[in-house]
Structure 1
Amino acid sequence: VAVRAVAWLLLWEAAGFTCSPATTFNNTHFVAGKGATCSEIILRQEVLKDGFHRDLLTKVKFGESIEDLQTCRLLIKQYIPTGLFVDPYELASLRERNITEAVMVSENFNIEAPNYLSKESEVLIYARQDSQCIDCFQAFLPVHYRYHRPHIKDGETFIVVHNPDLLMYCDQEFPVLKCWAQSKVTAPCALNSKDICQWNNMKYKSVYKNLTLQVPVGLTIHTSLVCSVTLLISILCSTWILVAVFKYGHFSL
């Protein structure tokens, strides 16, 4: 029995399957430490509400404990496609009520233009820490559908919202930032600040490749009917207003 046991040990050692307990612990600790340090940032975007007026909700979850990143701020640079628009006056009202911290970047922005006459715009959203998740941030942005050209057959079209840029600025450097940071981007340090900071453009993993929205559009075969009914209603309403003015109005020379 002793001879067989020694023979098996020699065979296992020759095959390279044996290792000391200390070596096993060190290797496991190294792999676990590397996984914890370079864990992924998960980003999830979803659209709330129905109809032409929606809310774009962005959630960011860090694989690391956020306790070491309390001095960091998170900024989302969202690209708005031509099929959507963000109302800057609505954003100003929401900022006054402390509902969101978002500001338009694009200038000469027309909220009434249809999608085929508009351009892509940009919005900066300063994310807030989620009260229900210690290592999570979230950002809220109201978006609205633009009018699209009528189609010949299909009564719907699709809008693709590409993933945003995720920017982070920390008052002090952390080793974990080396796993996430890709490049430097200049942006205001805070919403109401004129100071410019060098933000880290972070790499992350998105739950969805891109967000796709479905928009109903009119049909070209209904053009004559819609124009006729609209013109008829306009004439009737105008006539009714004129009759009321001449009947109940008071004129003085």
Structure 2
Amino acid sequence: MWRRSNHKETNVGGKGGWRKQVEEKRDLKEILEMDASNVIGEGSHRRLSTSIKIQTQRANSASELSSFSCQFIILERLPSGVFADPFELQHLVQRGVFRDIAVFGDTNLELPSFLSNRSSVEIHLDVDQNILLDPTDIKVELPLHARYQPLNESGYSTVEFGAPDILMRCSKKENVENQSCFVKVVNDANSIGADIVWKIPSGRKAHAQLVYTVDTSTWVSVIIRRRFSGVSIRR
């Protein structure tokens, strides 16, 4: 669980005056905090849940935040043992759950874990201006699916998730020059807890050998029966 955050802002596509204005106000820098992240659900299909806490009581003039138009940009880096289905995610965009979403890296859904590469998901989420006026928790759930895992002695493969990168992109509503400010949430390494772990069933090597032995015995039995099924004993 993440309790504290440092923040960095970067001015893009605009003049220094806009950056100076944001630095002097400090409103956007003081309200973001990543609260928690976890894998929820059961089986091979789960959801990666991330909670973003908006602390408007830290801003000197929270009411002025209504003059900004903002959206969250969340970058999740997925381990090789899981994948996000691009078609499923596009349905969420069509339903209005996300503003936009994209999957980068290995998008082959059929590959097993040991043949696949890592991928990442970039999520864009609109922030209603009214949300910025009161302390709020925003929860983002990303559906994920487990790949086929290699056999091992424990019967499980463990995949670990790190902390996502989170940006809040804000611009003045009346800003005709399309100037924007990015506020990045940088997690404090001292306050981050254990990595998020998903234990995926993989099957045991010992069981695989047993299945192979049983299958071989079954085939031998079938062959013997077919060969001697037409043989009759004469006296």
Q: TM-score range by the shorter chain?
A: 0.5 to 0.7
Distance 1:220 1:197, change over 3 A: farther
Structure 2 CA distance, aligned partners of 1:74 and 1:160?
Answer: 24
The DSSP-based 3-state class of the residue aligned with 2:93 is helix
Superposition deviation, residue 210 in structure 1:
2.0
| Letter of the 1:54 counterpart | R
Higher strand share: 2
Pair 1:215 & 2:200 matched? yes
Contact 2:74 2:164 in 1 (8 A): yes
Please state if 1:43 is matched with 2:35: yes
Change (3 A) 1:137 1:113: same
2:150 is the counterpart of 1:158? no
| TM score, norm. by length of structure 1 | 0.58
What is the CA distance between 1:83 and its match in structure 2?
0.9
Report the CA distance between 1:54 and its aligned residue. 0.3
Distance 2:85 2:42 in 1: 18
Deviations 1:195-222 (A, max 9, x none): 9976333224576442111112211122
Sequence identity, in percent? 26
Task: Decide whether the 8 Å contact of 1:128 with 1:138 is kept in 2.
Answer: no
How many angstroms apart in 2 are the aligned matches of 1:89 and 1:215? Answer: 23
Match of 2:186 in 1: 203
> Match of 2:171, as an amino acid?
D
Q: Does structure 1 conserve the Cα–Cα contact (< 8 Å) formed by 2:171 and 2:179? A: no
Alpha-carbon deviation of 1:103? Answer: 2.2
In structure 2, the CA distance between the partners of 1:228 and 1:99, relative to structure 1 (3 Å rule), is farther
The 10-residue stretch of structure 1 (223-232 or 139-148) with the greater mean CA deviation from structure 2: 223-232
Cα gap change, 1:128 to 1:198, in 2 (>3 Å): closer
Question: What TM-score comes out, normalization by structure 2 length?
Answer: 0.62
Cα deviation code 1:210-252 (max 9, x no counterpart)? 211111221112224445777979xxxxxxxxxxxxxxxxxxx
The superposition leaves residues 96-144 of structure 1 with CA deviations (integer Å, 9 ceiling, x where unpaired) of 2223445233155211111111111111112355999743322221001
**Partner of residue 116, structure 1:** 114
Which residue does 1:148 correspond to in 2?
Answer: 149
**What is the number of residues matched between the two proteins?**
178
Unaligned runs of 5+ in 2: 1-25, 173-177, 220-235
CA distance in 2, matches of 1:196, 1:107: 30
CA contact (8 A) 2:71 2:170 kept: yes
- C-alpha separation between the residues in 2 aligned to 1:40 and 1:99? 21
Q: 1:111 to 1:212 in 2, by over 3 A?
A: same
The 3 A distance-change label for structure 1 pair 103 and 220 is same
1:83 aligns with 2:66: no
Letter in 2 for 1:47: V
CA distance in 1 between counterparts of 2:54 and 2:103 reads: 27
**Equivalent in the alignment of 1:136:** 137
Secondary structure class of the residue paired with 2:208: helix
